[in-house]
Amino acid sequence: MSNAIIMAAGLGSRLKEYTKTTHKSLFLVDNVPNLERTIRYLNEIGIDEIHIVVGYLSEQFLYLKDKYKNINLIFNPDFATKNNAYSFKLAMDYFSDSFIIDADVVLLKNIFSLETRSTYYTTLRRKTQKAEWIVCADEKDRVFDIKICTDEKPSLLGISYFTKEDAKIIKDEIYNLDDDYFLDSKLYYDNVIAKLIDKISIYSKFIDPNYVCELDDIKDIDELKEKLNGKFSRN
Mean of the per-residue pLDDT values for the chain? 94
Can you tell me the distance from the alpha carbon of 117 to that of 162, in angstroms, rounded to the nearest whole number? 7
Can you tell me the distance from the alpha carbon of 102 to that of 79, in angstroms, rounded to the nearest whole number? 15
Q: Ramachandran region of residue 158, left (φ > 0), alpha (ψ -120 to 50) or beta? A: left
The pLDDT value given to residue 16: 78
Can you tell me the distance from the alpha carbon of 88 to that of 159, in angstroms, rounded to the nearest whole number? 13
Can you tell me the distance from the alpha carbon of 44 to that of 26, in angstroms, rounded to the nearest whole number? 20
pTM here is 0.95
Spatial CA neighbour of 85 closest among 194, 217, 191, 195: 191
CATH homologous superfamily, domain 3-115+158-180+208-233: Spore Coat Polysaccharide Biosynthesis Protein SpsA; Chain A (3.90.550.10)
Indicate whether 235 pLDDT > 80.
Answer: no
The pLDDT value given to residue 93: 98
Q: Which residues contact 115 (CB under 8 A, 6 or more apart)?
A: 2, 161
Indicate whether 142 pLDDT > 70.
Answer: yes
Between 14 and 31, residue with greater pLDDT? 31
Give per-residue pLDDT as tens, 79-126. Answer: 999 999 999 999 999 999 999 999 999 999 999 999 999 999 999 886
